[in-house]
């Protein structure tokens, strides 16, 4: 590990692995170590009909309850139900809420994991608590989401 200052507040230039995913036409990522599984979602209409995309309902995965955050609606261009992709994915996180439910994010598609350096993280020009920053992975701009802030 190299020493130095990083833009994510850790004070070091860490090499971490992120998992990338799509919402509408934008690419996002989170630390891969915080995700315990990626699942296909059949019949996601009940999540899209929920009044609050930040708490779009629950589902059960391998006997564990998962609280679903409908990210296409929460981060999309409008608060209404977005046009869904045919095969959405659910990122299931190791973190749980006060009721013991895991957090799950409904996303359009999930790509591969990628190693990145935290020092390459650049701040966004927007005021948001849900984003750690922006970085380039290959030739793509990727927004790094702060799962802890999203989970509350």
Residue 36: predicted pLDDT:
93
Residue 8 pLDDT > 70 = no
Phi, psi of 53 (to 5 degrees): -65, -20
Residue 17: predicted pLDDT:
94
Domain ranges for the chain, please list them: 20-111+120-151
Residue appearing with tokens 């130095």: 4
Alpha carbons 124 and 8: distance in angstroms, whole number: 12
**pTM tops 0.75:** yes
pLDDT digits (tens, 9 = 90+) for 53-110: 888 888 888 888 899 888 888 876 554 445 666 678 899 999 888 888 899 999 888 9
Alpha carbons 28 and 148: distance in angstroms, whole number: 15
pLDDT digits (tens, 9 = 90+) for 17-58: 999 998 888 899 999 999 999 988 776 556 766 788 888 888
Q: H helices of 4-146, where?
A: 45-48, 71-75
Mean pLDDT of 127-141: 86
Mean pLDDT of 2-12: 45
Residue 114: predicted pLDDT:
92
Residue 56: predicted pLDDT:
85
Residue 21's DSSP bridge partners are: 28, 110
**CB of 136 closer than 8 Å to CB of 122:** no
- Among 84, 82, 75, smallest CA distance to 41 is for 84
């Amino acid at each position: 590990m190299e020493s130095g200052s990083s833009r994510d507040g850790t004070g070091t230039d860490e090499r971490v692995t992120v998992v990338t995913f799509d919402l509408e036409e934008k690419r996002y990522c989170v630390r891969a170590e915080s995700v315990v599984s990626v699942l296909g979602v059949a019949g996601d209409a009940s999540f899209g009909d929920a009044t609050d995309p930040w708490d779009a309902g629950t589902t059960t995965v391998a006997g564990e309850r998962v609280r679903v955050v409908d990210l296409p609606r929460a981060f999309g261009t409008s608060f209404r139900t977005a046009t869904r992709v045919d095969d959405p994915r659910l990122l299931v996180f190791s973190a749980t809420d006060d009721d013991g439910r895991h957090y799950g994010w409904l996303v359009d598609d999930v790509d591969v994991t990628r190693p990145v350096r935290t020092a390459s993280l650049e701040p966004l020009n927007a005021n948001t608590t849900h984003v750690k920053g922006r970085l380039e992975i290959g030739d793509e701009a990727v927004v790094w989401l702060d799962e802890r802030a999203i989970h509350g």
